[in-house]
Chains A and B, each alone.
Chain A
């Protein structure tokens, strides 16, 4: 029976999966901006005996491109450590003999070079940003309605994300638009799909309860991970908003739990919360660096 309190959890932990945008950096002009302390935190994780992988729903650029961007910002990260939806989707399309009509950012197209795109029999949407024009959405809509078996893949289902110049609509909003227009349900590739998390765990050779997901998105990062049996930590950076529809009750800290820095507290997610199904473990909200201090304190 796995420990459900933090000192016990920290001891049985063998791997950490980090979300990227909103945890390591904020995207925006140029390369974006590293979140203070995150470069150092990644170095500490790599120096520890914990396995580390990066998981992102980034779909504006191919892996090589955004990993290079993070390396320029100072992060110690390799393409082989990164899991993103586009390569996972390309694999699914080939496996099922599907030919996609793509509505994705130009920077993502190389991830689909090896996929036959003639005579499309499905639609794939990613975070296309300015390419989400009425004309492009209409074209995708028409491809779907002309198909006998309309099939829509969405690379993620996020509602919005944060860039340095404000909050922006994410692919999930446009997925809902096409779902509504065509009266169908999209298949989501990427967080929070359990298949996606499982592929990362398989790569690490770990059981779900041995791994921890850290992200800024309560539903797609933490919720998705918890549904697989992993533990979740939500950080108060990135798209985290203290005023939102997720009001979690605070709990009293056990006396032996070490104090965290200013602005951090513990929250316990109760089973009645609709956001995370059957949470088995406590949720901890804090800045990534301070959490690491807690983790290492208890090992």
Chain B
């Protein structure tokens, strides 16, 4: 009798991509049990990489916070959409108007910003005021490329949900009748670049995250499997918003790791 496993056609798991904000922690609070779960994952023979659309903080900032919360990881294991944006700016030699938080500017040192001929939008509440958005609008209307670090609709803050950069990118796209180039999740290029130095194909990797569309949908669209966790910005019913639905939906990161260790190696 032939048993068809639901992993048919998949090779053994070689890499796990893990979202940060909302999955391992929410602001300054770690998800309970997440530190131990990460250590258990490292004991198995899989590569681990931390991927994030967080645009408010540079890699150093992120690392410092994660170390404060007792997570074991190195700077080289972090891949952010800011890194992806920088790569694009360097390739095309653009001079950007940077709508990013001050704390993220560190990741753009060395890039020329005078007489901007491109607009880069990240999560920057301080910059999403009428005057600055008008400035960005006029540049794009006159032909400057619009580069979105990502298009998240909203994210979870301590005081509730808050608008992400996505709505402001949508506003500029509508006003200028142009499309933004998106470099972060859920773009395929982002996941491909994250896996590029791990020596594995997408079908040998799984993504764990709290954002159904950007984490799980994006990863599955890139050929990976996706696990949706019910922490962070997750809202009831999110798993029904993507097709195909997540490979697994579970309570939090520790449960996701348990599932991987039991069923996917």
On A, residues with C-beta under 8 Å from B are 129-134, 137-138, 141-142, 145, 159-160, 166-170, 172-174, 176-183, 245
Chain B: minimal CB distance from A60 (Å): 12
Task: Knowing A142-B160, A169-B133 are in contact, say whether A183-B153 is a contact too (CB < 8 A).
Answer: yes
Interface pick from B43-51, B71-79, B122-130, B248-256? B122-130
Partner of A180, one of B125, B141, B153: B153
Chain B: minimal CB distance from A37 (Å): 28
For residue A169, which residues in chain B have a CB less than 8 angstroms away from its CB? Answer: 130, 133-134, 137, 171, 175
The answer to whether B225 has its CB under 8 Å from any CB of chain A is no
For residue A168, which residues in chain B have a CB less than 8 angstroms away from its CB? Answer: 130, 134, 137
Chain B: minimal CB distance from A249 (Å): 20
Chain B residue, CB-CB nearest to A177: B167
On B, residues with C-beta under 8 Å from A are 125-126, 128-131, 133-134, 137-138, 141, 153-154, 160-164, 166-168, 170-177
Partner of B171, one of A133, A141, A174, A245: A174
In Å, the complex CA distance between A174 and B167 comes to: 8
* Contact present for A141 and B130 (CB under 8 Å): no
* Contact present for B138 and A181 (CB under 8 Å): no
* Contact present for B153 and A134 (CB under 8 Å): no
Task: Knowing A172-B174, A245-B177 are in contact, say whether A167-B153 is a contact too (CB < 8 A).
Answer: no
Chain B residue, CB-CB nearest to A179: B170
Q: Mostly helix, strand, loop or mixed at chain B's interface?
A: helix
In Å, the complex CA distance between A179 and B163 comes to: 12
Chain A: minimal CB distance from B29 (Å): 22
Chain A: minimal CB distance from B162 (Å): 6
Q: Name, among B154, B162, B175, B177, the residue most crowded by chain A CB atoms within 10 Å (CB to CB).
A: B175
Chain A residue, CB-CB nearest to B169: A180
Chain B: minimal CB distance from A186 (Å): 12
Chain B residue, CB-CB nearest to A129: B130
In addition to A137-B128, A167-B137, A177-B171, 9 A-B residue pairs with Cβ atoms within 8 Å of each other are A132-B130, A133-B130, A134-B163, A167-B138, A168-B134, A176-B174, A180-B166, A180-B170, A181-B163
For residue B130, which residues in chain A have a CB less than 8 angstroms away from its CB? Answer: 129-133, 168-169
For residue B175, which residues in chain A have a CB less than 8 angstroms away from its CB? Answer: 159-160, 169-170, 172-173
In Å, the complex CA distance between A145 and B155 comes to: 13
For residue B167, which residues in chain A have a CB less than 8 angstroms away from its CB? Answer: 137, 141, 176-178, 180-181
* Contact present for B174 and A159 (CB under 8 Å): yes
Chain A: minimal CB distance from B48 (Å): 32
For residue A130, which residues in chain B have a CB less than 8 angstroms away from its CB? Answer: 129-131
* Contact present for A138 and B171 (CB under 8 Å): no
Chain A residue, CB-CB nearest to B168: A177
* Contact present for B170 and A145 (CB under 8 Å): no
For residue A166, which residues in chain B have a CB less than 8 angstroms away from its CB? Answer: 134, 138
Chain A: minimal CB distance from B224 (Å): 25
* Contact present for A167 and B172 (CB under 8 Å): no
In Å, the complex CA distance between A173 and B169 comes to: 10
For residue B172, which residues in chain A have a CB less than 8 angstroms away from its CB? Answer: 173
In Å, the complex CA distance between A215 and B184 comes to: 40
For residue A145, which residues in chain B have a CB less than 8 angstroms away from its CB? Answer: 161
